Structure 1
Amino acid sequence: MAEREKTPDEGTETPAKARKSPIKLIIVIFLALLVIGGGAAGAVMFLGKGGEETAETEEPEEALPTYGPIIPLGEFTVNLNETSADRYLRIKIDMEVADAEVQAQVEQRMPLIHDTVLLLLSGLRLEDIATVEAKEALKETIRARVERFLSTGSVRQILFQEFLVQ
């Protein structure tokens, strides 16, 4: 007998191909895209960040203010000009000057500066130094009086390292 070819419709069944659910296929594609996207984003952030960091680190260096030499004026202890109670002020003062030339002038005239600051401080009352604004005004007054002794340059700021009233 002649064998005839069997077609799948005729009698023998071939195992049905396992069909994947469309939901599973969508989830797999989504996860693959997520992994690829995450890897690309990470690469851009880490590799691209190197150039940005150099640009960012250069900008703050240029924007940083320059500071002049700091000269210690020393510690002063004076009685406050109070009639109701015996009070004293102990203050340690430093000052920032513009450059080394001004520093040399200040060091040369230090006795005059000490005398001026001491006289100024001994005339103060508690009310003259009780608030932050009053302390800032005192800094400005000291700065102006010190600058009278300078032929060139300026005092940038007065710094209080210690400020004690008792």
Structure 2
Amino acid sequence: MAEKGKKSKLVLILLLLLVLAGVSGGGIFLGVKLAGGKKPAQPPPPPPLKTVSLDSIVVNLADGDTNHYLRVTVVLAVPADEKLAKEIEGKKFELRDLIIQLLRHKTFAEVMKPDYPTKLKEELKQKINAYLGGDKVKEIYFTEYLAQ
């Protein structure tokens, strides 16, 4: 009888192992089936960008009682498209004028705020993209920002 008890325990253990293997295999199968057998889609890499420098710009600030000026060097990051690069190169003077007109209305106190360069980048990006017609400028960088 002791042998019969050992056999039934062995059969019971084997049945448990089979059930566990089936549940595990089913879970794996369902996971692959639910995912469509594919890896999650990766977002496409961003398009390569090209930078175009608009050189150094110096403007008098709008403080009437004192003389303050701001000097910035603006660099535009645009998609690496030769047609767009030529368009921007051809409009450099107009873009510099647009920036000068915008900056001349700023005060010394305004441009000296710690978060102002970030706000100015966004404002310039909107103005330049509106002038160029579309979302052509992806980023704006300052390689020089000096107020005095």
Measured in 1, the distance between the counterparts of 2:69 and 2:105 equals 11
Q: Higher relative CO (CA 8 A, sep ≥ 6), structure 1 or 2?
A: 2
Provide the alpha-carbon RMSD of the alignment.
2.2
Q: Secondary structure at the match of 1:155?
A: coil
Match of 1:99 among 56, 63, 80: 80
**Divergent runs of 4+, >6 A:** none
TM-score by length of 2: 0.62
Q: Specify the alignment match of 1:71 in structure 2.
A: 52
Q: Specify the alignment match of 2:124 in structure 1.
A: 142
Q: Specify the alignment match of 1:35 in structure 2.
A: none
Q: Specify the alignment match of 2:97 in structure 1.
A: 115
Measured in 2, the distance between the counterparts of 1:152 and 1:80 equals 29
**Identity within the alignment, %:** 22
Q: Secondary structure at the match of 1:76?
A: strand
Measured in 1, the distance between the counterparts of 2:53 and 2:133 equals 20
Letter in 2 for 1:125: T
Instruction: For residue 124 of structure 1, report the CA deviation from its aligned partner.
Output: 0.9
- Are 1:127 and 2:117 counterparts? no
Letter in 2 for 1:159: Y
Q: Secondary structure at the match of 1:149?
A: helix
Q: Specify the alignment match of 1:81 in structure 2.
A: 62
Which of structures 1 and 2 has the bigger CA Rg?
1
Measured in 1, the distance between the counterparts of 2:103 and 2:145 equals 12
User: Structure 2 stretches of 5 or more lacking a match?
Assistant: 1-43
User: Structure 1 stretches of 5 or more lacking a match?
Assistant: 1-62
Listed one character per residue, the Cα deviations across residues 73-117 of structure 1 (whole Å, up to 9, x for unaligned) are 111111111133211111111110123232222112222211110
TM-score by length of 1: 0.56
Contact 1:76–1:92 (CA<8 Å) still a contact in 2? yes
Contact 2:56–2:74 (CA<8 Å) still a contact in 1? yes
Match of 1:163 among 136, 139, 145: 145
